[in-house]
Amino acid sequence: MSDFLLENEAARRLIKTLGLPVPVPTRLRRAKAPQDDRPLHDDDVVVGAVPGGAMAGVLAQTLTVAGASPMVTRADLLPAFAEPGEAFGRPAKLIDLAAVPDGLKLRSLVFDATNLGDPTELRALYDFFHPLITRLGGSGRAIVIGRPPGSFESAQVAASHAALEGFARSLAKEVGKRGSTAHVLYVERGAESRAEGVLRFLLSPRSAFVSGQPLTVTSEVRAPQSWRWTRGLAGKIALVTGAARGIGEATAELLAAEGAHVVCLDRPQDDALVAQVARRIGGSVLLADLGTPEVARTIVDHFRAQHGGVDIVVHNAGITRDKTLAKMKPEAWDQAIDVNLVSVARVTAALLEGTLRDHGRIICLSSVAGIAGNMGQTNYAASKAGILGYVAKLGHHTASRGITVNAIAPGFIETRLTAAIPVMIREAGRRLSNLGQGGLPRDVGEAITFLAGPAAHGINAQVLRVCGGALIGR
């Protein structure tokens, strides 16, 4: 089912001309090809900072290597940009916030607040963003970088860094009508260099439907010795469950485009569909019913026999059995819990016993329903909330092996399931987000592919919402 307000240009012009009180969403700038070395090619990015911030060197390296054209608002930031700027022909320019050039259109704004002190220093956020936010172009990015609030002894300093989340979430709502997003990135001390891959993702078109999110970069997980930005999954073996259609199909395609051999798992009754996906991407098929107790052994035996192990596990398959609790049959409860949560834990436990290789990636699909709840979905929401608790704990157990465990929580995504929703509910689902529209399966697949890559080793035991900044949940 297509989005009328996005795809009908005549209707969009008429609404704007008549000034009707109808939100006309902005078409999002999305990536159209596999990852490349310079995802920020020629993007004008302004960098500001609280004095003494810790991220100047990382930002200089990230932006120049990724092809951006950096500008800084403080002269004391220029030395950090000098060497990478010379190496990549991207020297940083000094911009005066009191005299921002007319006509300047920016792709991204990045503010380093890692050295933020007591709450009086929050004024630095206003001083940086106020003169620049109207210069942020369509599908732009705004990122604030701080420290995890819990890492401070001082309650006042902790309050300042916690305030960054409220600021970023609110800013995301203000710029969403232009297709732009805002985030807060918390970086632990000693993990600064691990932020590069996260910044490349958040600043690029691959994060088009990720908005208003807090993420924390840590040094908990043992880092890989090296990686590359393009075809970073070359030689890797990936499992994607529920790969026949929708998010699973999009994810399989994106992982394959980055070099992975993807084993596409789905139910035996979807043999024809999943076989088509596997053939198209050069992958292979594994038919199995995730609702059966023996499925874990089936999966383990397959990967040991056919591939000698697995590197990436994407638990995408899921079912809904919607009814209000008073009308729900016990089998509907059991089926949702078994497929969406029990099988995830059972299969993962079996794979961790020697089949999942070190530096592997486990990505589990949750849902905003698991965060905010949903009418008639007590079983589904319980299973998806369980996923959040599962990854939050398991990730700490696997970190010593370099294995990360994370969750993706999609919001309203345009699939065959959402196409069957009554029209008024469907419209509300689309519009009740910062970006005023539904996401695409590819948007979720891009986030999964980011977490599956070696450069995401700083993200562990976390949930990444791909919901356009949905106005439900947190």
- Which positions are catalytic? 380
Contact 322, 343 (CB under 8 A): no
Q: Which residue do the tokens 């485009």 mark?
A: 257
410 φ, ψ (degrees, to nearest 5): -70, 155
Strands 106-112 and 93-94: unpaired
Nearest one of 57, 55, 108, 100 to 80, comparing CA atoms:
57
Neighbours of 114 (CB within 10 A): 21
CB 147 within 8 A of CB 189: yes
Cα-based distances in Å from 193 to 130, 151, 376, 437: 29, 18, 44, 34
- CA–CA gap between residue 172 and residue 188 (Å, rounded): 23
Q: Which of 198, 142, 200 is nearest to 171 (CA)?
A: 142
**DSSP bridge partners of 181:** 141
CA distance 237 to 223: 19
